[in-house]
Amino acid sequence: MDRRSALKRTGILAGATLALPTALSLLQACQSENRPEWTPEFLTAEEALLVSSLVDTLLPRTDTPGGLDVKADMFMDKVFARTYDAQSQQYLRENLASLDEACIAGYGEAFADLGETDREAFLKEEEARGGSFNPGVWGTSVGEQEPVSFYRNLKSMVVWAYVTSEEVGKNVLSYDPVPGAYKGCIPLSDVGYRWSL
Amino acid sequence: MANYNIDARKEMTYDAIVIGSGISGGWAAKELCEKGLKTLVLERGPIVEHVADYPTMNYDPWDMELREALTPEEKQKHYKGIRSGFIGKSVEHFFANDQENPYTEVKPFLWIRGHQMGGRSLLWGKQTYRWSDLDFEANALDGYGVDWPIRYRDIEPWYTHVEKFAGISGEALGLPQLPDSHFLPPMELNCVEKHVKSRIEDQFPGRHMIIGRVAHLTQPLNGRGQCQYRNRCSRGCPYGAYFSSNAVTLPAAQATGNLTIRPYSIAQSILYDEAKGQASGVRIIDAETGESMDYHSRIVFCNASTLSTTQILLNSKSNRFPEGMGNDSGELGHNLMDHTYRIGATARVPGFEDKYYSGRRPNGIYIPRYVNVDEASKSKDFLRGYGFQGGGYRGGNVANSQKIGAGFKEEVLRPGPWEFFITGFAECLPYHENKVTLDTTNTDKWGQPTLAIDCEFKENEKALNRQIRKDAVEMLEKAGLEDVMGFDNEHEPGYGIHEMGTARMGRDPKTSVLNGTNQVHGAKNVFVTDGACMTSSSCVNPSLTYMALTARAADHAVSELSKFNI
Domain residue spans of chain A: 3-135+144-164
> In this complex, is the C-beta atom of B60 within 8 Å of any C-beta atom belonging to chain A?
yes
Q: What is the pLDDT of residue A35?
A: 66
Q: What are phi and psi of B332, to 5 degrees?
A: -65, 125
- Is the pLDDT at A17 greater than 80? The verdict is no
Confidence band for A7, pLDDT divided at 50, 70 and 90: very low
3-class state of residue A67 by DSSP: coil
Tally the domains of chain B. 2
Would you write out chain B's pLDDT as a tens digit for each of its 566 residues?
457 888 877 789 999 999 999 999 999 999 999 999 999 999 999 999 999 999 999 999 999 999 999 999 999 999 999 999 999 999 999 999 999 999 999 999 999 999 999 999 999 999 999 999 999 999 999 999 999 999 999 999 999 999 999 999 999 999 999 999 999 999 999 999 999 999 999 999 999 999 999 999 999 999 999 999 999 999 999 999 999 999 999 999 999 999 999 999 999 999 999 999 999 999 999 999 999 999 999 999 999 999 999 999 999 999 999 999 999 999 999 999 999 999 999 999 999 999 999 999 999 999 999 999 999 999 999 999 999 999 999 998 999 999 999 999 999 999 999 999 999 999 999 999 999 999 999 999 999 999 999 999 999 999 999 999 999 999 999 999 999 999 999 999 999 999 999 999 999 999 999 999 999 999 999 999 999 999 999 999 999 999 999 999 999 999 999 999 99
From chain B, the residues in CB contact with A195 under 8 A are 358, 360, 415
Q: Do A185 and B353 touch (CB under 8 A)?
A: no
**Same-domain status, B554 and B482:** no
Residues in CB range of A71: below 8 A, 6 or more apart: A35, A165
State the nearest Cα–Cα gap between A105 and chain B, in angstroms: 21
Confirm whether B274 is domain-assigned.
yes
* ipTM value for the complex: 0.94
**Same-domain status, B92 and B34:** yes
**Same-domain status, B206 and B272:** no
From chain B, the residues in CB contact with A64 under 8 A are 409, 413
- Is the pLDDT at A112 greater than 60? The verdict is yes
Q: Do B412 and A185 touch (CB under 8 A)?
A: no
Q: What is the pLDDT of residue B344?
A: 98
Nearest C-alpha in A relative to B411: A193
Give the containing element (helix H, strand E) for B388. strand B386-394
Q: What are phi and psi of A176, to 5 degrees?
A: -150, 90
Confirm whether B33 is domain-assigned.
yes
> Which has the minimum average pLDDT: A9-18, A76-85, B261-270?
A9-18
| Closest Cβ–Cβ partner in A124, A159, A187 for B399 | A159
- Looking at residue A48, the DSSP 8-state letter turns out to be H
Nearest C-alpha in A relative to B125: A138
From chain A, the residues in CB contact with B84 under 8 A are 139
Can you say how many angstroms the Cα of residue B93 is from the centroid of all Cα atoms in its chain? 18
| Probe site for chain A from B191, B341, B349, B356 (most A CB atoms < 10 A) | B356
From chain B, the residues in CB contact with A53 under 8 A are none
B36: buried, middle or exposed (CB in 10 Å: 19+, 13-18, 0-12)?
exposed
Q: What is the pLDDT of residue A21?
A: 38
Higher pLDDT, A12 or B431: B431
**Same-domain status, B445 and B551:** yes
**Same-domain status, B197 and B346:** yes
- What count of Cα atoms within 13 Å lies in the side-chain half-sphere of residue B506? 26
From chain A, the residues in CB contact with B86 under 8 A are 138-139
- Is the pLDDT at A2 greater than 80? The verdict is no
C-alpha separations of A71 from A77, A80, B89, B144 in Å: 10, 14, 21, 60
Q: Do B404 and A127 touch (CB under 8 A)?
A: yes
Residues in CB range of B432: below 8 A, 6 or more apart: B331, B334, B335
Amino acid at B453: I
**Same-domain status, B269 and B305:** yes
Q: Do B190 and A138 touch (CB under 8 A)?
A: no
| Probe site for chain B from A68, A69, A138 (most B CB atoms < 10 A) | A138
> In this complex, is the C-beta atom of B70 within 8 Å of any C-beta atom belonging to chain A?
yes
State the nearest Cα–Cα gap between A4 and chain B, in angstroms: 31
Q: Do A139 and B409 touch (CB under 8 A)?
A: no
* Cα separation, B173 vs B346, whole angstroms: 26
* Cα separation, A195 vs A185, whole angstroms: 14
**Same-domain status, B351 and B465:** yes
Confirm whether B505 is domain-assigned.
yes
Q: What is the pLDDT of residue A34?
A: 56
Confirm whether B443 is domain-assigned.
yes
**CB contact residues (below 8 A), chain B span 480-509, against chain A:** 485-487, 489
Return the percentage of chain A with pLDDT > 70, whole number.
82
3-class state of residue B198 by DSSP: helix
Q: Do A165 and B414 touch (CB under 8 A)?
A: no
* Cα separation, B336 vs B531, whole angstroms: 10
Cβ contact B269:B515 at 8 Å: no
Q: Do B409 and A59 touch (CB under 8 A)?
A: yes
**CB contact residues (below 8 A), chain B span 382-411, against chain A:** 394-395, 397-400, 402, 404-406, 408-409
Its domain, for residue B345, covers: 168-210+340-426+458-488
From chain A, the residues in CB contact with B110 under 8 A are none
State the nearest Cα–Cα gap between B418 and chain A, in angstroms: 12
| Closest Cβ–Cβ partner in B187, B355, B406 for A185 | B355
Q: Do B190 and A184 touch (CB under 8 A)?
A: yes
Confirm whether B136 is domain-assigned.
no
* Cα separation, B535 vs B337, whole angstroms: 9
User: What's the CATH code of the domain at B72?
Assistant: 3.50.50.60
**CB contact residues (below 8 A), chain B span 317-346, against chain A:** 342, 344, 346
Confirm whether B43 is domain-assigned.
yes
**Same-domain status, B410 and B437:** no
Q: Which of A41, A46, A9, A189 is nearest to B71 (CA)?
A: A41
Confirm whether B74 is domain-assigned.
yes
**Same-domain status, B267 and B368:** no
Q: What is the pLDDT of residue A13?
A: 32
State the nearest Cα–Cα gap between B355 and chain A, in angstroms: 5
Burial A121-151 (b: 16+ CB within 10 A, else e): ebbeebbeebeebbbbbeeebbbeeeebbbb
**Same-domain status, B286 and B260:** yes
| Closest Cβ–Cβ partner in A62, A133, A169 for B61 | A169
Span B433-475, pLDDT tens digits: 999 999 999 999 999 999 999 999 999 999 999 999 999 999 9
Q: Reduced to 3 DSSP states, what percent helix, strand and coil does chain A have, rounded to the nearest 5?
A: 60, 5, 35
Q: Do A137 and B344 touch (CB under 8 A)?
A: yes
**Same-domain status, B324 and B347:** no
Q: Whats the size of chain B, residue-wise?
A: 566
Q: How many residue contacts between A and B have a Cβ separation below 8 Å?
A: 183
pTM value is 0.94
From chain A, the residues in CB contact with B340 under 8 A are none
CB atoms within 10 A of CB A46: 21
C-alpha separations of A56 from A150, B119, B403 in Å: 18, 45, 14
**What is the radius of gyration, based on Cα positions, of chain B?**
23
State the nearest Cα–Cα gap between A20 and chain B, in angstroms: 23
Span A50-67, pLDDT tens digits: 999 999 999 999 999 999
* Cα separation, B188 vs A185, whole angstroms: 9
**Same-domain status, B346 and B482:** yes
> In this complex, is the C-beta atom of B223 within 8 Å of any C-beta atom belonging to chain A?
no
State the nearest Cα–Cα gap between A42 and chain B, in angstroms: 14
Confirm whether B4 is domain-assigned.
no
Return the percentage of chain A with pLDDT > 90, whole number.
78
Q: Do A64 and B409 touch (CB under 8 A)?
A: yes
Q: Do A194 and B416 touch (CB under 8 A)?
A: yes
State the nearest Cα–Cα gap between B6 and chain A, in angstroms: 34
Q: Do A191 and B358 touch (CB under 8 A)?
A: yes
* Cα separation, B37 vs B53, whole angstroms: 28
* Cα separation, B41 vs B20, whole angstroms: 7
> In this complex, is the C-beta atom of B141 within 8 Å of any C-beta atom belonging to chain A?
no
